[in-house]
Amino acid sequence: MTCFNLSYLLLAGIAGCLVLGIAAFPSDLGMLSLLIAFILFLALLVLLLARWAKRRRAGPAAAVAPAAAFADRGIRFVSCAVLGWALVDALVAGQGAISLVLCALAVLYFLPRALVAWRNRTTLTLRLWKTAIVAVGGLAALAFIRYDIAQGRIQADQVVAAVQQFREKQGRYPDRLAELVPGFLPAVPRARWAYSANEFRYVGSSLHPRLIFVGIPPFDRRIFNFETGGWDVID
């Protein structure tokens, strides 16, 4: 199986996982599908970069026409840029703003440039590949962020349950989440994988304890009120 045939299979797998994930969300199947889509996207970029590295190691003997060489450089640049920005959005910012920009670029910039070159099959194929990489990168990062937020809410419910169990057993609310370990939790869980919102904030108080969870930083702050037993959204 050639590199491009495998690339097409990966693109088809990513598209299928995204469709299934969005349709089945927020079930376990939907979240798993979104996570697999993000992993397949990373595999696609690694495959394209490995293909470029192999040609480079082969040296001048494997050189192709200047236009094709330029095409490889274009794919390499777009792949690296999309991979970098998608990872920054998914694992650092955790917002989805960068991913939305990538999707907009795919639709408003890369796709029209590809369609303009419809008479030149080589250029058309190259630009369609760039369009696919940018679009899939943005969608895969958005899928991972959505999965991450859903997992954070599950983790938050676990922390809430542990605090309530502590209250029933000790007759008071804990001052810190660390008091829940190891009797009620094996460890205080991460709120999310995203660096900017990876911790739960707990305000311990005998009268007004609160658990704060940030869904999409710096907004979507959710506060669990242990007195009312429900979640409130600040912004």
Q: What is the pLDDT of residues 153-166, one digit of tens each?
A: 889 999 999 999 99
* Whether residue 67 has pLDDT greater than 60: no
Token pair in block for residue 153: 């809410």
pLDDT for 161: 92
Please give the backbone phi and psi of residue 203, each rounded to the nearest 5 degrees, phi first.
-105, 100
Torsion angle, alpha carbons of 5, 140, 110, 11, to 10: 10
Comparing 1-10, 110-119, 137-146, the range with the smallest average pLDDT is 1-10
Distance CA 224, CA 231 (A): 4
- Beta bridge partner(s), residue 225: 210, 230
Residue 64 pLDDT > 70: no
Q: Per-residue pLDDT for 62 more than 80?
A: no
Give DSSP secondary structure letters for 144-165: HHHHHHHHHHHHHHHHHHHHHH
Provide the 3-class DSSP secondary structure of residue 201. Answer: strand
Confidence check: pLDDT of 55 > 70: no
Structure tokens at 46: 């690694």
Indicate the domain borders of the chain.
171-233
Residue % of the chain over a pLDDT of 70 = 85
Report d(CA 225, CA 35) in Å as an integer.
31
Mean pLDDT, residues 208-213 taken together: 86
Q: Tell me the pLDDT band of 29, cut-offs 50, 70 and 90.
A: confident
Interval 44-69 mean pLDDT: 62
